[in-house]
Amino acid sequence: MILGFGLSFRVLSLCLLVAGCSDGAVMVAASKEPVKPVDVAIVRLGPDNIGQMAAPPPARVPSTLASAPLGDYQVGPGDALSVIVIDHPELLVPGAGTEQGYLVRRDGTFTYPFVGDVVATGRTVEDIRKDLVQRLATFFPDPQIDVRVAKYGSQRVVIGGAVGQPSIRVLEGLPLTVFDAVTSSGGLKENADVTRISLRRGGKEYRIDLDGYLADGLAANNPPLRAGDVIFVPTRKQDEAFVLGEVLRPSPVDLSRDPVTVTQAITRMGGLNLTRANASGVFVFRETNGKYTVYALDMSRPEGVLLGTRFVLRPNDVIYVTRAPLQKWNDTISRILPTINASGTAAAVEGRF
């Protein structure tokens, strides 16, 4: 049942006068200033409307990075090449190359016996092989040459933020995806926000919802990286709800990792204080676009506890467990919702329950 209401000051004063007769009530002095009506909806939860309180499916944000294939690896300065001419061991001149191969210098070239400097930067190993075949054919008939990258070092990406070990990764022949890069950098920290990973490429920043890949298999949300990419994993925004009143450990509840229901939240706070709590008076206060809703849940019966497992909390929700017997709501709401007219809400809630 939903009830929207506004109370005049005279009606409010009468309600407060009646409320003051109960033990523990907080009296509010009358004021000559007019009291604005309080826009509050009161909802009694039951099997017919509890389905509306379920968590909506997460909104996945597809990556906007281009999905063009990476193509073959292009050699660059810092790479080392292995060059072998079959049946010509004399070309393995001592000192001509390092133990890891011929190092591509800053100018993008490496030096090979007989032919001198060979341009390597921006070319694939197949391009380099064909060039060497053509140039060595002057000295050896039909040379059979094998060219490979012996050591990668020219293409790098940076991974930082909420990962175990921020690092610089060298791109090799096989594609390296965002998930691969994060995993190889010590994995995600507990407070990492995998839905808002940023990837900076070519002066532009792209949002990567990696959770869309991990949870829903969206391949576009795990793009392969390119040289110069910078990945930053932000920390997760701390979204909380609050559990107050007659529970064993009143405290905030973290909502930023997984959906949390009313029953889960109360359980995490040690459960109801059985000697003081009124299980039939469990309320959830929620503000949406400046309007307030009070959800009433009777958890004194098993069906009420089960209903609580289907009510998913939102950030800044307040669960309040009343005392037994039910105390005056002017005191309760003045602590929980200080930004609204506490007295008007108190009278309205008490009148309904």
Whether 101 is covered by a domain: the verdict is yes
What is the extent of the structural domain holding 122? 80-151
Whether 227 is covered by a domain: the verdict is no
Whether 311 is covered by a domain: the verdict is yes
Give the CATH number, domain containing residue 313: 3.10.560.10
Whether 66 is covered by a domain: the verdict is no
The string of pLDDT tens digits covering residues 171-193 is: 988 889 999 999 999 999 988 99
pLDDT given for residue 336 in this prediction: 60
0.85 exceeded by the pTM?
no
Whether 306 is covered by a domain: the verdict is yes
Distance between CA atoms of residues 185 and 164, nearest Å: 6
Q: Say whether both 46 and 97 belong to one domain.
A: no
Q: Say whether both 307 and 274 belong to one domain.
A: yes
Distance between CA atoms of residues 67 and 110, nearest Å: 33
Which of 151, 168, 185 marks a domain boundary? Answer: 151
Whether 15 is covered by a domain: the verdict is yes
Two structure tokens written together for 99: 């133990």
Q: Say whether both 27 and 106 belong to one domain.
A: no
Distance between CA atoms of residues 245 and 331, nearest Å: 12
Whether 248 is covered by a domain: the verdict is no
Which of 151, 167, 192 marks a domain boundary? Answer: 151
Q: Say whether both 44 and 128 belong to one domain.
A: no
Q: Which amino acid is at 57?
A: P
pLDDT given for residue 308 in this prediction: 93
- 267 closest CA partner among 286, 242, 295, 247: 247
pLDDT given for residue 135 in this prediction: 94
Whether 73 is covered by a domain: the verdict is no
- 85 closest CA partner among 152, 139, 124: 139
Distance between CA atoms of residues 224 and 213, nearest Å: 13
pLDDT given for residue 175 in this prediction: 86
**SS3 of 124, please?**
coil
Q: Say whether both 340 and 264 belong to one domain.
A: yes
pLDDT given for residue 88 in this prediction: 82
Which of 131, 151, 171 marks a domain boundary? Answer: 151
Distance between CA atoms of residues 248 and 262, nearest Å: 15
Give the CATH number, domain containing residue 112: 3.30.1950.10
Two structure tokens written together for 51: 């389905």
Per-residue pLDDT of the chain (353 residues; tens, 9 = 90+): 333 333 333 323 323 332 333 333 333 344 455 555 557 888 999 999 998 888 777 777 777 776 656 778 999 999 999 998 988 887 775 544 445 789 999 999 999 988 999 999 999 999 999 999 999 999 888 899 999 999 999 999 999 999 999 999 999 888 899 999 999 999 999 889 988 999 999 889 999 999 888 888 888 889 999 999 999 999 988 889 999 999 999 999 998 888 899 999 999 999 998 888 888 889 999 988 888 899 999 999 899 999 999 999 999 999 999 887 644 444 555 566 555 554 455 455 555 55
Number of domains in the chain: 2
Pairing of strands 40-44, 291-297: parallel
Q: Say whether both 31 and 100 belong to one domain.
A: no
